[in-house]
Structure 1
């Protein structure tokens, strides 16, 4: 989520500096260390921690920034279950929380984390944090601390919430592409796991490299007129131009999509900087048509089958109408006849009926 907030001239200047830092490299530690220094100009803090973690393994933390005593992190695997900050943000991912929203003050002062910090000569009196639950396989997080009783304000919270999507996106880019782009085998393994193909593009449309299956995928989705040997297909080049022209501080662009009778192709555009120039990773994901069960075909007309299959893909009536060249009202009539023929009450019932028949 991205909050709505009016930035002062100073805040705008620092925000632009932060965004430039986030896109300055694909080295996770370099990016997050730089971002932390700039972030503290907007939201003053005495200490902080920025990390990437594996949800299933509390001990697997990659501390990109640990502006706290090393002893505090040396045994963090054992301390993690008692960390009230960690517990709170896991329960409310992608939302900035202050310590007052995590635990009552008396409970904080009785907590293992608070007592441990005081044993190390620190006074972690106030905290503010957010967990980036961007992908199932990993999480990212930021925690800011103050060592005196000066609570983080509503403005502090709004600023961090406003910047959180950009920090999360940069962390995601570093995790996915930082080392892998320079190690082809690792990139291919990551792509197979993610179920996608990628192109690395220099604006406006020069393809520098591509994953092993990208060429075949492009051949399935773009005509020879739209394609050339070394350039991004024209529709993708147009979408990339729009993404590159969008303000860096704005929300991420919606994925580009093309739909056909055999399925759907989606493209996301992820910027990164290498040797001082901005390049783009174009992520391509293909989704095949959800076929209607064979038993339906004897009970539905050909057009009703086409409508039902698009419902199984999760399309709404307007999208189905656009794809089939008719009106939403016509789609609604076809869909009602599908419900009547199959004895189901709704879209949800239709999907359940299909699932029961394999």
Structure 2
């Protein structure tokens, strides 16, 4: 494979030839066994015996370099693969003895050409899709999110590896029955967005599902048209409802008191804080009684207000 605008930059999709030849091929491509470059477009495979004389072949730089590398490549037959993209390809068959490729072998390669072209094109396209999927997965992992790409109302194109586990946590009953389908609530939300069309108001594409300790934020983004349809990306991210703790507070509190304040800032009840930290309810209440005077605040409500105010003023 190579790009017309980047001569000498080759990509090998198969390893039928020894690796040493592939490594050095870019510097030798201009003196290949075939006709003088550029290779003319043709539906008929070309044989070296039909393009150059035996004497010319044995004097070519590629022939001499191959022998230096211990590769006695004596004959070649090549076919250009018209992939109708911004790149093109070719298939070359090398022979290590002097018997030329026959017209029958040339005809066989000609018959195989359409299948070879489709195979290489599909490998290339699927390779790009796989790369996009890997990059998408890395992006969402970096952001702590997962995604599902849908063609409404039911057809799913792809999902990042962690998306299924995230949906199982939030929709355990539905996902236990069939974890290959998007939960009904998400499908209905997507259908509503699809039905609104251009009338969608700003902000309607993001909504929250409330949970005990976290919320599930779902952001729906419609992609540009692809092959007659416009798919949607559902970005799924668990979000804490916590107000960030002001850094000066940490210096005034013990490690356990910091954990209790973080529970309060998540808007958890004392019972939830106790369960999360493995403490008794009375111990949590005692910690709070000690925390309030250390921070110069009067109550739980005042703690939430002061934290929110400090965050807004930053």
Higher RCO by CA contacts (8 Å cutoff, separation 6 or greater)? 1
Whose Rg is larger? 2
Q: What is the TM-score normalised by the length of structure 2?
A: 0.41
Q: What is the TM-score normalised by the length of structure 1?
A: 0.36
